[in-house]
Amino acid sequence: MENNTTLFQEVSRVVNQTEMPLKSLEEQVITIFLTMLICGVGIAGNIMVVLVVLRTQHMVTPTNCYLVSLAVADLIVLLAAGLPNISNVVAFWIYGYTGCLCITYLQYLGINVSSCSITAFTIERYIAICHSIKAQFICTVSRAKRIIAGVWIFTSLYCTMWFFLVDTDEKVYTNGVEVTCGYRVSRSLYLPIYFLDLTLFYVVPLFVATVLYGLIAKILFMSPLPSHLNDRAAGGSVHQGHSNSTNKASKGAVTARKQITKMLAVVVILFALLWMPYRTLVVVNSFIDPPYLNDWFVLFCRMCIYTNSAINPIVYNLMSQKFRVAFKKLCKCSWQQREAEYNMPIYYSVMKNSSHGSNEPVTELLFIFYICYMLYVLTLKLSFKNVSFYLHLI
């Protein structure tokens, strides 16, 4: 009798369900277009940052090591958050239980590492400018690599808690079953975790950056030249030519420091502004029930997060002459190599194929672009396949 009652309740639950809610066509088109545009630009730009620093010897500096860490973290965010969003907006969660765990873990790993990398290069810039003598021993490439390794290990361990906090959920409708990746337990139990994340990876980094960049600005922009340069400029006439050349070199070094400091400050400001909508939404939804989940505002928050991960290489190109020259050189080398492949004599190509049997050489950058493109195509195929399945059910 008890089993029959349970079965009847289960059948009633299925029959009484309404039709599965689907995103409007307008929202699907806008989401897919913006996500592919932002993620495509961001993936290409961050890969270029990594390649430029790793393949150019004079670009391997402590600051650039932190920027490589930030670029890798941004790549993880774009790949783990952007690509699933494309399929999720037109269908439902298609990556299963394992995908729910791994993708959630990678999302928070990329977000938290990017925040820690910003804090690390802020502290490095403060030491390099405000304590230049100590910086010769503290701000080294080897130390930067150790700090980056420590950041990744700490964040990797910290984010393991998400393996136990998320799960897939199924909702039964009259025209199918909707699968989502969400909370394992009640939403209220996640509030301490969200506020801990908000404090450690948003409030603290911004507070540290505000204080340290204020001290850096006081050193760089309040006084035009350091005191020892003024002493050299007031030297005797015998060494006047040498003193003038030294002053020019020193002024160039100060200008370069100002330039990179401005660039990093812009990165921090963009991080604060672009993460503010999402962080505000999380705080507001922690105190209201039901939570505010307007589709267009949630889309706006997501696009801000993707933009934050995609815009940094553009900032480097606009504000850093070294990065701009290195980017142009990398693109020029890739283009010249590709052009040489197309312009080579036919008999040489035949000889090479017959003797070695190898494929045409493909540059690292083009190969990575190809992999990213294939991921996009695969995601879209899966998404539209699920849409056609639902249309068939209706």
Q: Does 6 map to a domain?
A: no
- For residues 134 and 361, the model is more confident at 134
Q: Does 5 map to a domain?
A: no
CATH number at residue 334: 1.20.1070.10
For the beta carbon of residue 373, count every other beta carbon within 10 angstroms. 12
What is the distance between the alpha carbons of residues 285 and 373, in angstroms, rounded to a whole number? 36
What is the distance between the alpha carbons of residues 340 and 214, in angstroms, rounded to a whole number? 50
Q: Does 4 map to a domain?
A: no
Q: Does 282 map to a domain?
A: yes
Q: Does 17 map to a domain?
A: no
Tally of domains within the chain: 1
Backbone angles phi, psi at 182, to 5 degrees: -155, -155
Q: Give the tens place of pLDDT for each residue, 217-242.
A: 888 877 554 444 344 333 444 344 54
Q: Does 9 map to a domain?
A: no
Task: Give pTM, 2 decimals.
Answer: 0.76
| Domain span holding position 255 | 23-393
**Dihedral angle over CA of 373, 379, 381, 384, nearest 10:** -140
Q: Does 315 map to a domain?
A: yes
User: pLDDT-based confidence at 119, cuts 50/70/90?
Assistant: very high
Give the tokens for residue 173: 């409708």
Q: Give the tens place of pLDDT for each residue, 277-315.
A: 999 998 888 888 788 888 899 999 999 999 999 999 999
Q: Give the tens place of pLDDT for each residue, 362-380.
A: 444 444 444 455 554 454 4
Give me the residues paired with residue 178 across strands: 171
Q: Does 15 map to a domain?
A: no
